[in-house]
């Protein structure tokens, strides 16, 4: 995949050089901007909106129509256009314009997982109707929209056995209206948003809704793929693969291409999905942690806001910039944000030493080495080239630091970490081209993720295991070893654990909303993939390209939660996106398969900044007992407290004309948003904070819930009242939580939970408190 990607980049660079030689210098003077104008007026048709966008463009350019790339006319109003910086500044001053920003390029956050989730879930009562859940409509009516790399490859009659495209949408069709709900057909719609005709001349597939990457196929099959027996990745992870909501339909919006996911395309996908009438959206895309645009300049936050206003649940990946704190992305409170965890499946590739000791390693390779330890073993530092300079680089097997004569025919032990100048796969390519027969990478951080090395024998070990190998190397003149082919180990313990790459909270945008919301499997997930016959490097010798792949990322965690949300929606057609999110969060589990608290892959107890409410529980989420619902106005008050002006908020939404913000609006009051978790920042050692919540009973009619608090010794946490009695006529009740410091209070992030229980349901809310 790396080699193919480099070839694509070279082709594109050559093509652009050709364009420049033809004198197309305009590309240097202008660039794509997004103009966001808030909610689409209820009394405006799509044609009227497009005309208003053209008029706005004409006010700054005589070539307005030619500059327009895409008009947003369904869920919200705005457009993307090629403008100069001066023209963009001029448009930003026009009445009715909320924001103008350069078109950002976001990145992808890249079937035993469902069985594992079911094992860790609370079992459902056999009769849901008696506990308040409505009888499900035909579950196949639930439509999941995916903003990703395109539609499922037609080479997969497995996960998408009903792949008759009943309604196929091309990139040139607009205003199709509501998606039909056919009785057959897994994939019911596909759109593509590539507007780059020049790039398409090099890669024709970029103009098609077809998936040429694999990522979109993988996420779609995870969310809603059919059950497929005999699935595996070349014999590994063998079993039955399935999606979370196997009867849901899929509508695909291709917004990601060879170079990333343009914000203008993401907005177009949201806009059409709203018009098409999907039930939920799965978005495994996000901005990098170093670039956190404000909510009115973030295409995902903008699109999700308007989708949620139309009753569409939006599930997004949290990002892959962990384990550093404050890296979580897609943190708007109207988004359901998902972190990534491991499952109880382990891909073991062991090392056998000449002293008859075996060292456990992790990695996916199809080694053809002898199982006997007959290959010379050398540490990278010992293979340093005489011409290399600097200290330590040879131990990391960095490019051009090793003497190829010293490593030829040997297994090389290398230090590896994410901050190395040379990437992991570049190291592997260098070792292989220099004649090494295998590599052992020392990597405490990434060891839990089994990367794929195909036919070249590679495995990862911990630094503790490396000490054993180095001790052996130093104990003999002729150290020898072998790397065994990968085997699948199921029922691995402990699991789940938080993946090292999963982005962490608290949110850098507002620490008074606790993000991420929940965690789900995102490490080495088996799901459908495109079969690339032209990529032999990715296929073991003698094998045909697989229709499945093992991939890791919060991208993979996101569709797991989307599948759960789709099932909840099927059982509770009238539930709002906030109620669905609440059901998922308050029923999440905090325990692993050893019945101990979930940990990070570094072995530390996971906090809500790592996993939010916990690991998603598909079955328990169908019977939450109580939910924390959010009214449309609540998000407007959030925007007030966040700092947006009433005039700007009035443009964002058409829910309330003449909307005014409370006089006491402040960021501290964001904690009062009726969220299923609680976050408080700036609690002083002498002060206290009061947070209000409202719960809605969705279970038995006559029931009493009692509150219990789990808090650290540094905090006093009191719930008032601590009993809530619901009746046939009393469905909603409010309570307050009073947080204050004890004598042992100190600067720290403090975590705990509040749980309401009626003896059957446990409705748990995590909290995080930051000191001043």
Q: Which residues are catalytic?
A: 148, 215, 555
Contacts of 463 (CB under 8 A, 6+ apart): 442, 444
Residues pairing with 696 in the sheet: 627, 732
Cβ density class 31-59: b for 16+ within 10 Å, e for less? ebbbbbbbbbeeeeeeeebbebbbebbee
CB contact at 8 A, 131 and 623: yes
Query: CA 198, 199, 203, 207: dihedral to nearest 10 degrees?
Result: -80
SS3 letters across 255-291: CCECCEEEHHHHHHHHHHHHHHCCCEEEECEECCCCC
Q: How many other CB atoms are there within 10 angstroms of residue 391's CB atom? A: 8
CB contact at 8 A, 294 and 263: no
Q: At what angle do helices 299-309 and 632-642 cross, to 10 degrees?
A: 150
CA 166 to chain centre: 29
Q: In angstroms, rounded to a whole number, what is the distance separating the alpha carbons of residues 146 and 254?
A: 8
Per DSSP, the residues of 595-638 read SSB-EETTSSBP-HHHHTT-B--TTGGG--SEE----HHHHHHH
Rg of the chain (C-alpha set): 27
Query: CA 432, 433, 434, 436: dihedral to nearest 10 degrees?
Result: 20
Return the closest-CA partner of residue 312 out of 575, 628, 40: 575
CB contact at 8 A, 706 and 756: yes
Q: In angstroms, rounded to a whole number, what is the distance separating the alpha carbons of residues 690 and 598?
A: 29
Q: At what angle do helices 577-586 and 554-571 cross, to 10 degrees?
A: 110
- Half-sphere exposure of 34 toward its Cβ, with a 13 Å CA cutoff? 26
CA 537 to chain centre: 28
Contacts of 348 (CB under 8 A, 6+ apart): 360, 361, 362, 486, 487, 488, 489
CB contact at 8 A, 281 and 334: no
Dihedral sign computed on CA atoms, order 719, 720, 724, 729: negative
Contacts of 474 (CB under 8 A, 6+ apart): none
Backbone angles phi, psi at 715, to 5 degrees: -125, 145
Per DSSP, the residues of 718-762 read EEESSEEEE-SS--EEEEEEEEEE-TT--SSEEEEEEEEESSS-E
Dihedral sign computed on CA atoms, order 691, 694, 697, 702: positive
How many residues would you count in the chain? 772
Surface-to-core class of residue 172, CB atoms within 10 Å of its CB (0-12 exposed, 13-18 middle, 19+ buried): exposed
Q: In angstroms, rounded to a whole number, what is the distance separating the alpha carbons of residues 67 and 33?
A: 10
Dihedral sign computed on CA atoms, order 287, 291, 295, 299: negative
Return the closest-CA partner of residue 446 out of 407, 411, 410, 420: 420
Q: How would you classify the pairing of strands 487-490 and 497-498?
A: unpaired
- Half-sphere exposure of 618 toward its Cβ, with a 13 Å CA cutoff? 22
């Amino acid at each position: 995949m790396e080699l193919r990607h480099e070839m694509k980049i070279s082709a594109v660079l050559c093509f652009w050089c050709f364009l420049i030689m033809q004198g197309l210098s305009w590309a240097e003077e202008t660039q794509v901007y997004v103009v966001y104008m808030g909610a689409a007026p209820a009394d405006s048709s799509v044609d009227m909106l497009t005309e208003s966008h053209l008029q706005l463009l004409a006010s700054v350019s005589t070539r307005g129509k030619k500059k327009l790339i895409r008009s947003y006319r369904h869920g919200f109003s705005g457009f993307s256009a090629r403008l100069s910086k001066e023209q963009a500044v001029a448009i930003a001053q026009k009445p009715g314009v909320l924001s103008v920003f350069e078109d950002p390029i976001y990145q992808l956050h890249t079937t035993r997982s469902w069985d594992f989730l079911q094992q860790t879930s609370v079992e459902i009562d056999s009769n849901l109707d008696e506990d308040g859940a409505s009888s499900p409509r035909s579950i196949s009516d639930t439509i999941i929209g995916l903003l990703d790399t395109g539609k499922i490859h037609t080479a997969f009659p497995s996960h998408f056995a009903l792949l008759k495209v009943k309604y196929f949408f091309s990139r040139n069709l607009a205003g199709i209206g509501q998606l039909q709900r056919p009785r057959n057909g897994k994939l019911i719609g596909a759109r593509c948003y590539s507007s780059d005709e020049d790039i398409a001349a090099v890669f024709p597939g970029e103009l098609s809704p077809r998936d040429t990457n694999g990522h979109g196929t993988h996420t779609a099959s995870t969310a809603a793929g059919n059950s497929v027996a005999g699935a595996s990745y070349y014999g590994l992870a063998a079993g039955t693969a399935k999606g979370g909501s196997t009867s849901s339909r899929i509508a695909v919006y291709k917004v990601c291409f060879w170079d990333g996911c343009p914000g203008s395309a993401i907005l177009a996908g949201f806009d059409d999905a709203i018009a098409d009438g999907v039930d939920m959206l799965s978005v495994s895309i996000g901005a990098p942690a170093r670039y956190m645009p404000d909510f009115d300049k973030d295409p995902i936050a903008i699109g999700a806001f308007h989708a949620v206003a139309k009753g569409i649940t939006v599930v997004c990946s949290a990002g892959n910039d962990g384990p550093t704190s404050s890296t979580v992305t897609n943190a708007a409170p109207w988004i359901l944000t998902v972190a990534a965890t491991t499952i109880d499946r382990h891909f073991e590739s062991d090392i056998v030493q000449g002293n008859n000791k075996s060292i456990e390693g992790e990695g996916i390779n199809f080694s053809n080495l002898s199982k006997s330890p007959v290959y010379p073993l050398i540490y990278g530092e010992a293979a340093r080239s005489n011409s290399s300079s600097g200290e330590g680089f040879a131990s990391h097997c960095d490019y051009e630091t090793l003497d190829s004569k010293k490593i030829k025919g040997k297994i090389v032990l290398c230090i590896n970490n994410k901050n190395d100048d040379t990437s992991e796969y570049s190291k592997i390519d260098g070792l292989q081209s220099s004649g090494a027969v295998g590599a052992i990478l020392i990597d405490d951080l990434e060891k839990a993720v089994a990367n794929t090395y195909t036919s070249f024998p590679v495995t990862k070990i911990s630094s503790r295991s490396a000490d054993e190998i180095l001790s052996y190397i130093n104990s003999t003149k002729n150290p020898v070893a072998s790397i065994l082919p990968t085997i699948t180990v199921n029922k691995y313990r402990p699991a789940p654990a938080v993946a090292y790459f999963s982005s962490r909270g608290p949110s850098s945008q507002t620490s008074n909303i606790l993000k991420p919301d929940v965690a789900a499997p995102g490490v080495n997930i088996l799901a459908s993939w495109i079969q690339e016959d032209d990529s032999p490097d990715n296929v073991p010798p003698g094998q045909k390209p697989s229709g499945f792949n093992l991939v890791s990322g919060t991208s993979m965690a996101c569709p797991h939660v989307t599948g759960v949300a789709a099932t909840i929606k099927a059982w509770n057609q009238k539930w709002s996106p906030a109620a669905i999110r609440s059901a998922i969060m308050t029923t999440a589990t905090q325990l692993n398969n050893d019945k101990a608290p979930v940990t990070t892959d570094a072995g530390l107890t996971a906090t809500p900044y790592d996993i939010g409410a916990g690991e998603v529980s598909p079955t328990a989420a169908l019977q939450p007992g109580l939910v924390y619902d959010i009214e449309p106005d609540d998000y407007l008050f959030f925007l007030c407290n966040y700092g947006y002006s009433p005039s700007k908020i009035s443009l964002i939404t058409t829910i309330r004309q003449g909307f005014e913000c409370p006089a006491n609006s402040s960021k501290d009051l964001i904690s009062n948003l009726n969220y299923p978790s609680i976050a408080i920042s700036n609690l002083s050692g002498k002060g206290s904070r009061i947070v209000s919540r409202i719960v809605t009973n969705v279970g038995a009619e006559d029931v009493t819930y009692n509150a219990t608090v789990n808090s650290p010794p540094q905090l006093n946490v009191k719930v008032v009242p601590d009993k809530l009695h619901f009746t046939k006529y009393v469905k909603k009740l409010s309570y307050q939580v009073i947080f204050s410091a004890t004598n042992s209070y100190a600067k720290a992030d403090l975590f705990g939970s509040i749980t309401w229980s009626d003896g059957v349901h446990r409705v748990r809310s995590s909290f995080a408190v930051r000191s001043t």
